[in-house]
Amino acid sequence: MKLKYMPVRNLIIYLISALLIISCTGKEEKPDRSGIIPEKDFIPLLKEIHLADGLLANPKIQNWVLSIDSISTYHYLSEKHGYTKEAFDKTIRYYFISKPKKLIKIYDKILGELSEMESLLQKEVMLNREKMTNIWPGEKGYYFPDGTDIKAVGFEVSLAGSRLYTLKFTATLFPDDQSVNAKTRAFSCDADSLNTGVKTWYETPVFLKDGKPHTYSVRIFVSSNEPIILKGTLYEPTNCLDEWQKHVRFENISLSIPQSDI
């Protein structure tokens, strides 16, 4: 969920209201520093207020807490941090009148921290989505030669549902690799007739043998809601040698469903 922070609107309305009341009552013009909330506590309090503003701006949350307004939230959070409504009001008035530049710096610091929090949250959400949508059955990467059987890059996975899947990976084929026209090849077939049914073939372009990483992808459209089998290998050369010198790396392998289909 993306929070829409409102760093000035609600709080500034509150501040103007408080200052109007002060000016109408004719009380002291210069606020007294005694009794204000220390900066080390004031900054975390304001950060929570901004988070609360962002949550209250979300329509779904608004429907849950119709009876809660921003001013009540400010006072509740003040008490949560161990300070009274009067201490919060006095602190806000002190900074607003006597230390406006300091207040701006405090806001800048808070907004920077909130932006960092939001960035980390978005990264976490993206990672979770990737985990949910990646149905690749094997490892995320392979490297040859490393003693691993070349059959390890073969795969077989069951797919279902009328949707588009994408097999995507990064391949680095080194110049000393002895394969000829190596590429990824795969086919899909009805799960009930894997050996005798009609096969739909998919393949990538021939891998570039330049020792540099290149990203390849295969789009696999399943048109039936009946389960099908996708079977193939990431690394298939056209030379028919039983053995050949292999020098290839596969990374970031994924078999995913588009986000719109989730």
Instruction: Please give the tally of structural domains in the chain.
Output: 2
- The DSSP code sequence of 5-39 is --SSHHHHHHHHHHHHHHHHHT--SSPPSTTPPPH
**Residues 243, 216 share a domain:** yes
Tell me, what's the pLDDT at 174?
A: 96
Tell me, what's the pLDDT at 65?
A: 55
Residue ending a domain, among 133, 168, 189, is 133
In a domain, 150, yes or no: yes
In a domain, 98, yes or no: yes
In a domain, 4, yes or no: no
Residue ending a domain, among 101, 133, 165, is 133
Task: Measure Cα distances from 93 to 13, 32, 46, 145 in Å.
Answer: 13, 10, 14, 70
Cβ proximity of 44 and 52 under 8 Å: no
In a domain, 163, yes or no: yes
Give the C-alpha separation, 78 to 173, whole Å. 61
Count how many Cα atoms sit within 13 Å of the Cα of residue 33 in the half-sphere of its side chain: 4
- Residue pointed to by tokens 């009609």: 198
Residue ending a domain, among 110, 133, 156, is 133
Regarding beta strands 214-222 and 200-203, do their DSSP bridges make them parallel or antiparallel, or are they unpaired?
unpaired
The domain in which residue 111 lies consists of: 9-133
Tell me, what's the pLDDT at 9?
A: 45
Give the C-alpha separation, 149 to 141, whole Å. 14
- Residue 232's CATH number: 2.60.120.260
State which residues of the chain have pLDDT below 70. Answer: 1-33, 56-70, 124-132, 147, 240-242, 258-262
**Residues 146, 89 share a domain:** no
Q: What is the pTM of this model?
A: 0.51
**Residues 147, 64 share a domain:** no
